[in-house]
Structure 1
């Protein structure tokens, strides 16, 4: 059998014409010259290199379509009937309402969250409500890399960003609803660093936390984006982007005039940190005012994972988010989404074993967060339990953005008097239909009735995750999530047992 998708996907809306498929290639087993060209091969024959990347970005999100041979569905959640840990052993105390979900982390500046969840890096679609909803829910969220590319009024002087209004707006989306829990973080890649984005973010806009990006499950290398013409290529180059071929080269310009110049591409520079340069960069960020430092890492080689964690310990980094294969949302090569990096649970297994090793050596570890394909409370619980005390949180990116988008859309429909059939039994107004508004009013007062329904959607979705976690924790008679470990999950398959027994990676 093949775990990889056919040559049809939501990345490009390509479709196999035939019901008969060659499993290894993913092509139709009978390929005919009469085909009008619907599959990925046909699209590539016309659109070429562009089809390495998704063609359905924009108002959409993208995630892996590969059916990995192991994931959290290979485990069930355990349950117990005797005793109660974390509360007094009385029927009145041992309830779901007394399950402790709060988390705190940080070496020099402590950050508290209402639940073991973060909203990972994103700066597309309805990001305003994504960040606002995070503040309402009391969790940390991250502004994605290359945010400057979404800024039409960005100003650059002598190779350094001098004005970045979008960043101020993004920070404000969180700050307006900040209730003392969570933090909004700015993710920066190499291009952002070269253009001085973290410096202006901290000094001019008051950013308190920076996330340094090594990579993520969806994006092992940075994107290459095709440019339409020489003029656009020159503009991108002046903005500090790496452009290939060099549009300022007279020979390239002559080739363009003669109609024989190849396509221009911008390409995001790859991070090439050393321990020394990384330590110096972190020291600089702290010197200019950063309170917290975060890392974003992916399912790279296990030796690289260990090195990143060791550097984080030495530099007193506050949190590392590990993004496994199966996650996504960014503008990433389609095959990279499906075929690159460790699946999330395998990545978590590697991270936990490395954490145990470093803990035994006396290292003080950062908070560890796993992300990549999580969407429901059972998955979050399993991820925390598999962490064996070394994973403090789970990242919910695409699902939270889906809540931001649909919450906004449904709210607009209700305001127009077009209540979706699915929700008519609950009433006809936003107050009637958005069922967790009372919980928001308990925090913010009646002004919560005026909040954006997209942000209410994010809050409500995360409220559901928290409520579900309380049920699973109480089911295991563990009333503090710090108590979760691998005894709280049950392997259902040979692959799951092999992973838990450290035999899955044997080569």
Structure 2
């Protein structure tokens, strides 16, 4: 049975998965949420006296602007679609007998001794403290995000199109020769780096046009870079309104697509009169081919990049197979694949909801592709999976479903949320106000942030200079790390390499068929393959 045919089963036929036409993502709402026409997402009754607080109404007054999320520069978003298959369809397995990776001794085989350390990079690798990567960001609490990754000992990615936000940018022709904002982002990570992880610079097609990676490698000594397939949070071009003609002219001069053309005298005159369309900056769709990708990887290595990575979304499975094939051929250090449902919010709202494979489906596809590579004797690129991961149970399921090929989990929105909360709490304390939600813990940074003492043991007096947002991110990742170790101990596996697909069990028929995992009934009649239990009696 194909993946497509699974969605014809009775358990999914009777559900509607798409959200209605009222959402905080677009700052809209339905007038009557209790009575919705599933087929359209509109109110079942649309009255003649309604001012239209829904997406239809917003479109009526704002036109194509209504496609985009609300205030994307100060918010982050993800899909609201209720997918018919996600990680809630699986439970984590557990064992009683034996131990793998530690002696079968109750003092040794204890969850704090589970080893979640790993490495980043296929050849010139760097150690990482946990199997996490913080994916591309360049907005919101970005300083805390990069600093938090450094003190947590995990790799982090600077997002695409940073130069468009850089007021100090200097170019010669269209090539970057000075980018202070990228320099600051790299410097923040390096200030707190303690021998683990690395900071990576991502490049979209416009960044490639501007020579951003060349600048970062040659001028800033960046050793890890990432080529992105697609733009924005997912697969389409990055896009945004440009209110001022001065900015539109600047972007046009840099080589961005600007519509309408601000250099056209007729357009400029219309702008001065307040008529005509608003300027829009549109990123270029990447026009990679396998041949020029292979060539580009070779050039980046020659320039001095020690770790070259790919980032892609849930495109057509044949495209995914091609990308993984190129990664195999060129020795790519990490391929991060992002499932539908994640993202941060620079894609059109409907694209976040209605495009691409959900993360579980994407991982099932990746597993099949890489198993084929392995059987054919091809090199296997390291894989990170992204797409809505936030807690330790989801992380464990993501590692298990893709085992042994998925080695890392990308945590984006949740990590940024932790950084933002830490920053907000710190600002409140500096202003003499203790947030009521945390007053029970104390009134100082040291008292409220329980993991402050852990960092103090490592950084000493420098701990006082670590931003509270970074401390918030560190504390959050510590929670996920401890929870991950507990699930590993539950399965008597004390190193990441021992996690496998039998560590999760599908609860629904659709989950079992889509992934090929054994159900509880099937496990009963399956001989143990890892020695962690004694079999049936």
| Shorter-normalised TM range | over 0.9
Aligned to 1:69: 84
Report the Cα distance in structure 2 between the residues aligned to 1:255 and 1:416, rounded to whole angstroms: 47
Aligned to 1:8: 22
CA change 1:243–1:69 in 2 (3 A) is same
Report the Cα distance in structure 2 between the residues aligned to 1:278 and 1:300, rounded to whole angstroms: 17
Aligned to 1:389: 404
CA change 1:376–1:216 in 2 (3 A) is farther
Deviation at 1:58, TM superposition (A): 2.5
1:17 aligns with 2:31: yes
CA change 1:182–1:259 in 2 (3 A) is closer
Aligned to 1:27: 42
CA change 1:216–1:91 in 2 (3 A) is farther
104-113 or 135-144, which moves further after superposition? 104-113
Instruction: Judge conservation of contact 2:177–2:215 (CA < 8 Å) in 1.
Output: yes
Report the Cα distance in structure 2 between the residues aligned to 1:383 and 1:502, rounded to whole angstroms: 13
TM-score, structure 2 as length reference: 0.90
Aligned to 2:475: 460
Aligned to 1:171: 186
Aligned to 1:445: 460
CA RMSD of aligned residues (A): 1.8
Cα deviations across residues 69-121 of structure 1 (Å, max 9, x unaligned)? 11001111111110000111111110112101011142331121111111000
Instruction: Judge conservation of contact 2:502–2:517 (CA < 8 Å) in 1.
Output: no
1:272 aligns with 2:279: no
Aligned to 2:230: 215
Match for 2:211 among 181, 196, 208?
196
Report the Cα distance in structure 2 between the residues aligned to 1:424 and 1:267, rounded to whole angstroms: 46
Report the Cα distance in structure 1 between the residues aligned to 2:516 and 2:82, rounded to whole angstroms: 23
1:430 aligns with 2:480: no
Deviation at 1:56, TM superposition (A): 2.8
51-60 or 336-345, which moves further after superposition? 51-60
CA change 1:161–1:330 in 2 (3 A) is farther
Report the Cα distance in structure 2 between the residues aligned to 1:230 and 1:257, rounded to whole angstroms: 9
Deviation at 1:253, TM superposition (A): 5.1
Taking the TM superposition and a 5 Å limit, the aligned residue runs for 1:118-157 are 118-157=133-172
CA change 1:124–1:254 in 2 (3 A) is closer
What secondary structure does 2:220 align onto?
A: coil
Instruction: Judge conservation of contact 2:245–2:279 (CA < 8 Å) in 1.
Output: yes
Report the Cα distance in structure 2 between the residues aligned to 1:492 and 1:56, rounded to whole angstroms: 39
CA change 1:176–1:21 in 2 (3 A) is same
Report the Cα distance in structure 2 between the residues aligned to 1:196 and 1:434, rounded to whole angstroms: 41
Deviation at 1:256, TM superposition (A): 5.8
Instruction: Judge conservation of contact 1:11–1:62 (CA < 8 Å) in 2.
Output: yes
Runs of 4+ in 1 over 6 A off after TM superposition: 257-260
Deviation at 1:360, TM superposition (A): 1.3
Aligned residues: 503
Aligned to 1:245: 260
Report the Cα distance in structure 1 between the residues aligned to 2:70 and 2:188, rounded to whole angstroms: 30
Deviation at 1:288, TM superposition (A): 1.4
TM-score, structure 1 as length reference: 0.96
Aligned to 1:43: 58
Report the Cα distance in structure 1 between the residues aligned to 2:309 and 2:180, rounded to whole angstroms: 23
Residue segments in structure 2 that go unaligned for 5+ positions in a row: 1-14, 519-537
Report the Cα distance in structure 2 between the residues aligned to 1:137 and 1:357, rounded to whole angstroms: 35
CA change 1:252–1:83 in 2 (3 A) is same
Instruction: Judge conservation of contact 2:239–2:346 (CA < 8 Å) in 1.
Output: no
